[in-house]
């Protein structure tokens, strides 16, 4: 279950921001073969593969003196090298790679793609500002693998793997200080952590020191103990200290972006490896109503009792687990290792010894779990984990080391020369307004010194000062620093940014892979815009053409025989009679929801503010579920009852009118009156009797399910809907006709009510519209390609195509 797989020490990591990569939409796949949604998914996967491949140090472009033409489009040559590059990248691992059929099919897709791009260029789409802006965004993302150090990544990945062979249990003390803090404040924090370290080394109780002094908020509850962790689960400097400190010893002082730490290594053990487990989950979260929390616990205990009696795990998972992602797969979860799960879940899982063993119910912040051991395995070889480790290395705090090495290389490769005198003069101009985020300054020509050069390109003081405005917002967040110190921080960042920007601007001339990727993305954006206009949006907006297409091809859109059915799964036969009686009522009380009453003053029929507030809570609840019905019961006090006037029904109608005015459908409201009880002689009327009582019902049998499950949590499970025969296992075994059916399976009773049978028939236009649009898009694209081939004649150089075929 993805939501409980977390890192216990918060490490910031970035998500892949590439959206559905447009450049491969028709290039790599014909629209006739798969849906657009599938194309987008596949494109994302391809982009990930490309990123992995190009994370290696790219090969610089070499001149190609012999680059034959594979085809011409409207007389413009397309070279073998371009086709072969993209073919190899996307087909090299295919079983039929470089066969005549594979090359021919791919060349056809490639040609269709080039035709569409040709048309987009002819329409001037490549000159639009929106296109240029979008392409620039993609170029920045594509550049990232080229702006990293492969050698550093390799070293860090191998180090991480070696550390993955062990797990460390450590406690820590943190004294917070911001990364850009003034030296004086950094020193103050350092002295504090130094004092605590001296006490710890002298024998003071580390846990007590952590609880009383650590500025990690969790230290108050865990005494600084972080539990067991391994590589890639902590920020890198912290991890280094943990793995380089002996058991029982206190580390040296560590500086991270959080501040200064010391840690004590409590224990060290061999990696427990990875575990594959299954679970049955019943949701129970903090803050849920007490009744629901108790019901969840009762339900998981009932499931556990059934497992102990020998009932089938997979059947119980399918029937009752509330983890929708795993229930149909026997509750199976992905492999995980130490530190990747909630501790209580992880501890219970690793405590299991034999395959098939399951633990007693375990509570996590997400609910109750019964965990079953499926498999354990040792740490895999480095070659199998290398790609994944490198991805993590690039995302965690190790990336700072990688960046440092990158900057060192870029300075050397691009002849970075710095001029300290000019730099010192610029920093000396910092004042208090810099930390307020309002600092601005320019200097005259005489003082506009050169701060540094990159391959002879000059960056001056004024260039730097103009850039400072981009740091203004961050300046207001800077803590415990001086203007001069913060100016140094800004200057360092500015110089590094300019080095990276210079490298990025020259990537296309240095690296063929990058140049080709940019071209593909550029062409793909053009393609997407034109495809949207000519195919996708047109198929939706051209209702006349769509209806005509549907009419011509209506035989392709059919419904099989369908049943309108309700399926009631009961724990035993004795519940069936009660169920049938309840079903006759057609509305079921929602006992878990109790509303406040609306009270009235004696003899009055108006809702005051307090009464309206109570009614507003009813309105809010009614809007959450269209199956809710509401009974409004008016009542009078004992003296009003003597008048024998219709006050009670009047009050109920006043409340009803108010609810309708707030948007509640009148057909969902029922009005009733409470019994009249006249006052006895000398008896005083009670204010609380003059009221309107709101009682919630539901048409949904889910409410009925809750009623039956009050005594035992698995008494009743309900499934309702319109089904084709293959949709439901219970329905498969029945005669398809209107009626009531009772069957038994896996120890449960199934009572099925089929209220209506729809005969097989052609779908109406509205029913088939989604699929018809997809088919119409395919048709439009084929017709469009035909017209483009007439407009831009294609000539294939078959001898060169044949040369690409490899005999196997």
Higher pLDDT: 437 or 547? It is 547
- The mean pLDDT value of the chain amounts to 85
Considering only 40-44, 196-200, 411-415, 671-675, which range has the smallest mean pLDDT?
Answer: 40-44
266: confidence class by pLDDT, cuts 50, 70, 90 = very high
Can you state the angle between helices 36-54 and 512-531, rounded to 10 degrees? 170
pLDDT at 647: 83
Check pLDDT > 90 for residue 506.
yes
Kindly state the tokens that stand for 323. 């983890």
pLDDT at 211: 94
Considering only 136-140, 210-214, 473-477, 746-750, which range has the smallest mean pLDDT?
Answer: 473-477
CA distances in angstroms from 372 to 297, 348, 474, 503, listed in the order given: 18, 9, 49, 53
Kindly state the tokens that stand for 288. 């849920």
> What average pLDDT does range 270-287 have in this prediction?
90
> What average pLDDT does range 541-557 have in this prediction?
93
pLDDT above 70 coverage of the chain, percent: 88
Q: Distance between CA 553 and CA 556 in Å, rounded?
A: 6
> What average pLDDT does range 634-648 have in this prediction?
72
Residue keyed to tokens 């793909």: 524
8 A C-beta contact, residue 502 and residue 454: yes
Considering only 36-45, 253-262, 662-671, 696-705, which range has the smallest mean pLDDT?
Answer: 36-45
What dihedral do alpha carbons 383, 385, 391, 392 form, nearest 10°?
-130
Check pLDDT > 90 for residue 489.
no
Check pLDDT > 60 for residue 59.
no
Is the pTM for the entire model greater than 0.85? Answer: no
8 A C-beta contact, residue 443 and residue 461: yes
Q: Give me the DSSP letters along 616-667.
A: HHHHHHHTT-TTEEEEEEE---HHHHHTT-THHHHHHHHHHHHHHHTT--GG
Kindly state the tokens that stand for 687. 């204010």
391: confidence class by pLDDT, cuts 50, 70, 90 = confident
pLDDT at 246: 95
746: confidence class by pLDDT, cuts 50, 70, 90 = confident
pLDDT at 793: 95
pLDDT tens digits along 83-106: 998 898 888 888 889 999 999 999
């Amino acid at each position: 279950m993805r939501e409980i797989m977390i890192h216990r020490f918060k490490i910031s990591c970035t998500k892949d921001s590439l959206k559905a990569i447009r450049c491969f939409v028709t290039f790599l796949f014909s629209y006739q073969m798969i849906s657009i949604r599938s194309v987008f998914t596949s494109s994302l996967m391809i982009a990930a593969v490309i990123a992995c491949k190009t994370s290696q140090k790219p090969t610089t472009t070499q001149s190609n003196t012999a680059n034959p033409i594979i085809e011409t489009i409207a007389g413009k040559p397309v070279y073998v090298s371009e086709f072969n590059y993209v073919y190899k990248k996307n087909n090299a691992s295919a079983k039929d790679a470089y066969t005549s059929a594979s090359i021919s099919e791919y060349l056809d897709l490639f040609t269709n793609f080039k035709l569409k791009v040709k048309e987009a260029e002819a329409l001037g789409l490549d000159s639009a500002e929106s296109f240029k802006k979008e392409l620039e965004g993609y170029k920045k993302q594509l550049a990232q693998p080229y702006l990293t150090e492969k050698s550093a990544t390799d070293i860090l990945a191998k180090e991480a793997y070696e550390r993955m062979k062990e797990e460390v249990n450590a406690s820590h003390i943190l004294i917070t200080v911001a990364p850009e803090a003034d030296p004086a404040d950094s020193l103050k924090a350092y002295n504090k952590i130094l004092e605590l370290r001296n006490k710890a080394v002298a024998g003071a109780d580390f846990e007590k020191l952590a609880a009383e002094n650590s500025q990690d908020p969790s230290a108050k509850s865990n005494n600084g103990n972080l539990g067991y962790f391994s590589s890639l689960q902590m920020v890198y400097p912290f991890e280094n200290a943990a793995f380089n400190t002996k058991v029982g010893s206190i580390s040296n002082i560590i500086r991270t972006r959080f501040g200064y730490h010391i840690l004590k290594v409590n224990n060290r053990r061999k990696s427990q490896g990875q575990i594959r487990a299954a679970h049955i989950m019943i949701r129970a979260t903090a803050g849920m109503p007490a009744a629901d929390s108790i019901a969840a616990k009762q339900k998981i205990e009932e499931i556990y009792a059934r497992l102990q009696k020998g009932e089938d795990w997979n059947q119980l998972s399918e029937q009752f687990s509330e983890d929708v992602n795993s229930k149909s797969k026997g509750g199976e979860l992905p492999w995980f290792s130490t530190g990747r799960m909630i501790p209580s879940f992880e501890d219970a899982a690793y405590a299991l010894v034999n395959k098939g063993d399951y633990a007693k119910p375990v509570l996590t912040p997400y609910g109750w779990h019964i965990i079953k051991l499926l498999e354990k395995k040792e740490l895999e070889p480095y070659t199998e984990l290398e790609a994944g480790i490198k991805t993590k290395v690039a995302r965690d705090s190790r990336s700072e080391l990688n960046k440092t090495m990158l900057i060192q290389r870029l300075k050397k490769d691009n002849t970075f020369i710095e001029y300290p005198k000019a730099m010192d003069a610029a920093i000396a101009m910092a004042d208090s307004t810099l930390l307020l985020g309002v600092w601005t300054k320019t200097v005259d020509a005489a003082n506009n010194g050169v701060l540094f050069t990159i391959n002879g390109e000059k960056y001056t003081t004024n260039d730097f000062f103009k850039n400072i405005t981009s740091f203004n917002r961050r300046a207001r967040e800077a803590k415990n620093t001086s203007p001069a110190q913060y100016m140094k921080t800004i200057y360092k960042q500015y110089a590094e940014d300019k080095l990276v920007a210079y490298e990025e601007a020259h990537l296309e001339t240095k690296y063929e892979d990058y140049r080709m990727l940019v071209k593909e993305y550029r062409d793909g954006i053009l393609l997407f815009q034109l495809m949207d206009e000519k195919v996708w949006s047109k198929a939706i907006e051209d209702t006349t053409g769509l209806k005509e297409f549907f009419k011509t091809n209506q035989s392709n859109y059919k419904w099989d025989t369908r049943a309108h059915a309700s399926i009631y799964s009961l724990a035993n036969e004795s519940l069936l009679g009660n169920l049938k009686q309840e079903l006759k009522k057609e509305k079921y009380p929602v006992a878990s929801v109790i509303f406040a009453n609306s009270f009235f003053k004696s003899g009055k029929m108006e809702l005051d503010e307090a009464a309206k507030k109570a009614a507003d809570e009813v309105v809010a609840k009614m809007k959450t579920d269209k199956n809710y019905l509401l009974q409004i019961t008016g009542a009078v006090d004992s003296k009003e009852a003597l008048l024998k006037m219709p006050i009670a029904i009047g009050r109920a109608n006043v409340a009803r009118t108010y609810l309708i005015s707030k948007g509640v459908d009148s057909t969902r409201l029922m009005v009733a009156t409470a019994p009249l009880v006249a006052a006895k002689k000398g008896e005083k009327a009670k204010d609380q009797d003059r009221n309107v009582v709101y009682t919630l019902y539901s048409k949904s049998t889910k409410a009925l399910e809750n009623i039956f499950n009050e005594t035992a949590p698995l008494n009743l499970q309900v499934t309702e809907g319109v089904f084709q025969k293959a949709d439901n296992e219970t329905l498969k075994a029945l005669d398809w006709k209107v009626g009531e059916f009772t069957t038994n399976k896996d120890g449960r009773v199934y009572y099925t009510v089929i209220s209506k049978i729809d005969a097989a028939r052609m779908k109406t236009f509205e029913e088939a519209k989604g699929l018809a649009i997809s088919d119409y898009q395919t048709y439009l694209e084929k017709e469009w390609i035909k017209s483009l081939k007439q407009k831009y004649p294609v000539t294939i150089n078959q001898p060169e195509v044949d040369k690409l075929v490899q005999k196997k």
